[in-house]
Amino acid sequence: MPPLMAIEFLCRVADVINGYLGGLNEDSIKDNFVIVYELLDEMIDNGFPLTTEPNILQEMIAPPNIVSKVLSVVTGNSSNVSDTLPGSTASCVPWRTADPKYANNEVYVDLVEQMDATINRDGVLVKCEINGEVQVNSHITGLPDLTLSFANPSILDDVRFHPCVRFRPWESNQILSFVPPDGQFKLMNYRVRKLKSTPIYVKPQLTSDGGICRLNVMVGMRNDPGKTVDSVNVQFQLPPCILSADLTSTHGTVNILSNKTCTWSIGRIPKDKAPSMSGTLVLETGLERLHVFPTFQVDFRIMGVALSGLQIDKLDLKTVPYRFYKGFRALTRAGEFEVRS
Amino acid sequence: MAPPPPQSNRSPSPSQPSGKSEVSDLKLQLRQLAGSRAPGTDDSKRDLFKKVISNMTIGIDVSSLFGEMVMCSATSDIVLKKMCYLYVGNYAKVNPDLALLTINFLQRDCKDQDPMIRGLALRSLCSLRVANLVEYLVGPLGSGLKDNNSYVRTVAVIGVLKLYHISATTCIDADFPETLKHLMLNDQDTQVVANCLSALQEIWTLESTTSEEAARERENLHSKPYVYYFLNRIKEFSEWAQCLVMELVAKYIPSDNSEIFDIMNLLEDRLQHANGAVVLATTKVFLHLTLSMADVHQQVYERIKAPLLTQVSSGSPEQSYAILSHLHLLVMRAPYIFSSDYKHFYCQYNEPSYVKKLKLEMLTAVANESNTYEIVTELCEYAANVDIPIARESIRAVGKIALQQYDVNAIVDRLLQFLEMEKDYVTSEALVLVKDLLRKYPQWSQDCIAVVGNISSNNVQEPKAKAALIWMLGEYSQDMHDAPYVLESLVENWDEEHSAEVRLHLLTAVMKCFFKRPPETQKALGAALAAGLADFHQDVHDRALFYYRLLQYNVSVAESVVNPPKQAVSVFADTQSSEVKDRIFDEFNSLSVVYQKPSYMFTDKEHRGTLEFSDELGNLSINAETGDSVVPAQRVEENDKDLLLSTTEKDDVRDPGSNGSAYNAPSYNGSAPSATSQPLADLAFSSTGATGQAPAPGLAIDDLLGLDFSVGTATTPSPPPLTLNPKAVLDPGTFQQKWRQLPISLSEEYSLSPLGIASLVTPNALLRHMQSHSIQCIASGGQSPNFKFFFFAQKAEEASIYLVECIINTSSAKSQIKIKADDQSSSQAFSTLFQSALSKFGLP
């Protein structure tokens, strides 16, 4: 048994159920067990995965939404199964509904990037990498053929595509040519290595002496990305040998939970002054100095910019003669961004 | 469906049952609704069905409602039907009599005009799993397979497989496998095709133990027409079906190289697939197809690197783990592939520890001269980690890197720093490592002993660490000032020492110390022997008795037994043999890799039977080439029986192609050491098409002449003082490791005689010639005019090994030789020997 087949499939089941029920937990499954059962029935038979494309599944089994729930209460009629078989099980583009119709044709493309970085105690960037994805939300009548090109595809280190992407145009000209599934989907994943800097810096300092440890953490913008850095959050685990901690910050709030997790929520970094957090940690009696050093996990969001520098050049529609609306967005957030002390 | 745990304390929803009385309540309500055709009935039915099923899932027996449920199932509402099917499927097995009731309505639904209902009914019908109802299955299945809707056909195909598991004979008698085969090759819908393939594979595999025809059919699946049929449609298949097809292709043996390249070109974009399972399955195909072409195999490693690394960093921890296990397997075979990507294996703070552990193993495996410093620095960071097991693992990793590197200066310093970190688990791990390090590099003893001497034995509690400390106290007692006294105090606390391992080491250490510093240790030795003799542990008792009698017999003999001069350990024993590793590689993209064990070690016997059988089949179909799975086994055997085999017999084992060597064309492996785990397969690789070289008969004559000649020279003496062991054995892994570790002791260029050049049409001719001079080849490759060889030889009566890289250019008649040797002083003598052997090549 190929191990990844099982793991990938389970991830897919989780995704689908999540999409249907808006959450995957004991209660949501209990309350909707009929739908869960119907889904599993279509997704796997005798141990072999069948239909796992969310689009197709939604045609076979309608998701429960608030409107239909309200309707079912009001009218007492709630069939969540469509009467017809999805046409595309027989169509040649297995991920697309047979013939959707829209009054407004529109395509939204989002670049969503996650920055993974590790910074060591000397402030040196040990590792920095961006994992990004291109998310597309398409509502176009008929069978559209889209092409999407980047201004700088050479920065991409490795790419993975949705099955709809044709490989040859990418290989020869780095152009994404595809017939999109209907609705929201992940067009491609990419990875960019060897980035030289991070948008913000976090500098922790710990000095311990005579059973007391002084802690000071500074956070600030490094190379102003032109957009505001939002939802900045620094989190770390106090080592078990620490008895108590007294921490204050110049900006934002500090929270220490009973499991010794310390969270410093900064929010937006002010332009004029770099926020800092400082205070003292009291060590266990008998312990002179701290031997275990916490790792600071940093969280942030930057709207409107893809830090890898990837830029979309243009998006064209072939084969279908409609005018359509195009929208582009970008977002970068911290993935595994950690600073060692 | 797993029963959910007892209900939470939320307000009761329809899916929350209250008890037994409810079942009879439900029964009554169902009965009332059964006949009703009033509008809205379906909705009240639906609520009732929900209640029934929720009762069922939490384990309340609602089978008494069977009759009522069946009566209510006459409806056009699909959700109702689905719930009813679920109910019936769940209880039919335990109530076969009642199941008969449902057959009727299921059969009727199988003829419904809605294909969805036809499919669902058929699926439920086949899921009843009641042996005495199979006769009712055949009809609906037969028409299901011919249904004009692909959904129904998909369901019917799997239904056939289900039928086979309930009653194999019914399935075979109805000739379903033949129908499936027809469908597989002709159906328009790829999902139907994929299901046919999956079902047929299972049926034929199970049948093949009894039926020859099934075995033949199963083997046929790996034949060219089938494989090409699937490959040509691969892009239409769903991602899961692609995995299935890929498995099939990996077992296919292409007839020539252009076919291999065609397949790889066709599948290349699959490496870019979003689904990790597809990527890994493609990787397997690529690796297995190129086994016989070493340089292409290297390119494949380069090609698959980026997609696999992406999978590691972008997936869930479970996905990363599965991929990392595969990377670990690959890195064991080709350590350099990831040596520049080591940063990908740095651990992240909140990764689960199973991923971290594997990453540490990867870091150990990819470490080489160029990246050791960075990797060790990173590993030292983890030693201060909050996660103690990972801190321990990372210290161990530092030690492993130290043991596999040639240049260890920096690492020793780091390890000694660990000893001073004053954390007991760090000290313990570091002590064990320092001990291993000293066994391999005794030259570091001064530095290490100075630091180890400062550690108080009271602070070391873990048995392994304590044993390591005691070993060092005994071994280096002459350099450690207070060794006898430390040992004495340890002996005094004999009774408090719970670990037998520590007590054993203590005995030996006291003995060693006694031989070096008798007056100071005499008292401790007496006490230790007395305590040992009184020890309740058998081994400790025996060893104490043995030492005692040995000392009684003769002290100097005792010293030569207990404390003989030691040679530094060059290579620590590998826990897994290369046979096992090759076996795991054959099972790439399976759980074997994740468990790091070949499948026969974790599957039960009856399942294993079919697997071994499948291997046999594989070998039959490729008899022209030696199956990979056979070669390693032979090699191990060869090692075991080495002393029994005569040289000629061994030739046959080493070079399975030698019988038919007349047809050997140049093989295509360029850089051989990387492929050393497959050198035999390389040698055996034969291709009829692409030669354009000297005609075969001449070659065969050359071989014969060469052999004759070598027998002749054995008697004509002018041998250099150095003699070689004619039966030297070295496994590829060791060769590779030694080649990495040893420095080049000699690098020369010789000219070759024109006759020799003329005979060098294929590498094999030279191999046999050199073998007759006791120089063995471990890997070879290239084609005219450039050939590359890796040889090794062993000194007679000594373990000292010589390694040679030899590049021959036939157009310039030059050969470049690089020699590496355990014993560098004799490498000049060996070079002379090698040159004389080489110069005689091709002489009549």
CATH number of B789's domain:
3.30.310.10
Q: What is the pLDDT of residue A224?
A: 65
- Whether the predicted pLDDT of B445 surpasses 80: no
So what's the ipTM on this one? Answer: 0.79
> Which of B341, B337, B355, B335 has its CA nearest to residue B301?
B337
Q: Is B478 found in the same domain as B412?
A: no
Do B380 and B476 share a structural domain? no
Torsion on CA atoms A159, A165, A167, A171, rounded to nearest 10: -50
Residues B143 and B188 in one domain: yes
Q: Please indicate, yes or no, whether residues B134 and B242 belong to a single structural domain of this protein.
A: yes
| B302 lies in some domain | no
Comparing A227-236, B316-325, B580-589, the range with the smallest average pLDDT is B580-589
Instruction: Tell whether B561 is within 8 A of chain A (Cβ).
Output: no
Task: Choose the mutation target among B275, B288, B607 for the interface with A, i.e. most A CBs under 10 Å.
Answer: B275
Residue of chain B whose Cα is closest to the Cα of A186: B274
Query: What's the DSSP call for residue B497?
Result: -
Task: Give the mean model confidence (pLDDT) for residues B713-729.
Answer: 57
The answer to whether A34 faces chain B, any CB pair under 8 Å, is: yes
Q: How far apart are CA B561 and CA B546, in angstroms?
A: 11
For the ranges A323-337, B410-424, B547-561, B563-577, the lowest mean pLDDT is seen at B563-577
CB B148 within 8 Å of CB B171? no
B403 and B496 part of one domain = no
pLDDT at B669: 40
Q: Which of B83, B313, B348 sits opposite A338 (nearest CB)?
A: B348
Identify all chain A residues contacting B343, using CB atoms and an 8 Å cutoff.
126-127
With an 8 Å Cβ cutoff, are B313 and A191 in contact? yes
- pLDDT for the residue B783: 63
**Alpha-carbon gap: A323 to the closest alpha carbon of chain B (Å):** 30
CATH at residue B362: 1.25.10.10
B480 belongs to a structural domain: yes
pLDDT digits 0-9 by tens, A271-284: 777 888 888 888 87
Q: Per the domain annotation, does B436 fall within a domain?
A: yes
Whether B173 and B58 share a structural domain: yes
Kindly identify which residue of chain A lies nearest to residue B304, measuring between CA atoms.
Answer: A158
Average pLDDT over residues B699-713: 39
**Domain closes at, from B207, B238, B267:** B267
Taking every pair of C-alpha atoms in chain A, what is the biggest distance, in angstroms? 79
- Residue B739 pLDDT exceeds 70: yes
Question: What is the DSSP secondary-structure string of A35-93?
Answer: HHHHHHHHHEETTEE----HHHHHHHBPPP-HHHHHHHHHHS----B-SS--GGGSSSS
Overall number of domains in chain B? 4
Closest alpha carbon within chain A to B280: A4
Residue B583: inside a domain:
no
Same-domain status, B427 and B476: no
Bigger pLDDT: B595 or B703? B595
Highest mean pLDDT among B386-400, B545-559, B665-679: B545-559
Q: What is the pLDDT of residue B12?
A: 40
Domain boundary among B503, B537, B565: B565
Q: Is A37 on the interface with B (CB under 8 A)?
A: yes
Q: Alpha-carbon distance B265 to B270, whole Å?
A: 10
Are the beta carbons of A2 and B276 separated by less than 8 Å? no
Together in a domain, B418 and B464:
no
In a domain, residue B464? The reply is: yes
pLDDT band at B703 (very low <50, low <70, confident <90, very high): very low
Question: 3-state class of B302 per DSSP?
Answer: helix
Q: Does B277 touch chain A (CB under 8 A)?
A: yes
Picking from A324, A337, A336, A327, the residue whose alpha carbon sits closest to that of residue A145 is A324
In order, the DSSP letters of B591-660 are: HHHHHTS-GGGTS-HHHHHHHHHHHHHHHHHTTTS--TTHHHHHHHHHHHTTTTS-HHHHHHHH-GGGTT
Q: Is residue B352 part of a domain?
A: yes
pLDDT for B605 equals: 61
Residue type, B713: T
Tell me if B235 is assigned to some domain.
Answer: yes
The helix or strand, by DSSP H or E, that contains position A209, with its residue range, turns out to be strand A200-209
**Under an 8 A CB cutoff, do A3 and B155 touch?**
no
Q: Which residues does chain A have within 8 Å of residue B381's beta carbon, measured at their own beta carbons?
A: 120, 340
Lowest mean pLDDT among A128-142, B216-230, B236-250, B402-416: B402-416
- Measured CA to CA, the distance from residue B684 to residue B501 in angstroms comes to 49
Distance CA B838, CA B751 (A): 10
Question: B758 is in which domain, residue-wise?
Answer: 724-840
The pTM (predicted TM-score) of the whole model is 0.69
Of B508, B542, B565, the one marking the end of a domain is B565
Which tops the pLDDT comparison, B346 or B708?
Answer: B346
A66-121 pLDDT per residue, tens: 444 444 444 444 344 444 444 444 344 556 665 667 777 888 899 999 888 888 87
Average pLDDT over residues B620-625: 36
Does one domain contain both B217 and B364? Answer: no
Give the number of other Cβ atoms within 10 Å of residue B730's Cβ. Answer: 17
Question: Are A295 and B349 in contact (CB < 8 Å)?
Answer: yes
B432 and B510, same domain (yes or no): no
Regarding whether B349 and B495 lie in a shared domain, the answer is no
Q: How far is B710 from chain A (nearest CA, A)?
A: 51
Measured between CA atoms, the residue of chain A closest to residue B235 is A163
Give the model's pLDDT for residue B776.
79
Shared domain check, B441 and B460 = no
Q: How confident is the model at residue B718 (pLDDT cuts 50, 70, 90)?
A: very low
Task: Give the pLDDT confidence of B804-833 residue by residue, as tens digits.
Answer: 887 777 777 777 788 888 777 777 787 888
Res. B323: pLDDT tops 60: yes
Q: Do B313 and A129 touch (CB under 8 A)?
A: yes
Q: Does B660 fall in a domain?
A: no
What percentage of residues in chain B have a pLDDT greater than 90?
A: 0
CA distance, residue B314 to nearest chain A CA (Å): 7
What is the Cβ-side half-sphere exposure of residue B262, based on CA atoms within 13 angstroms? 12
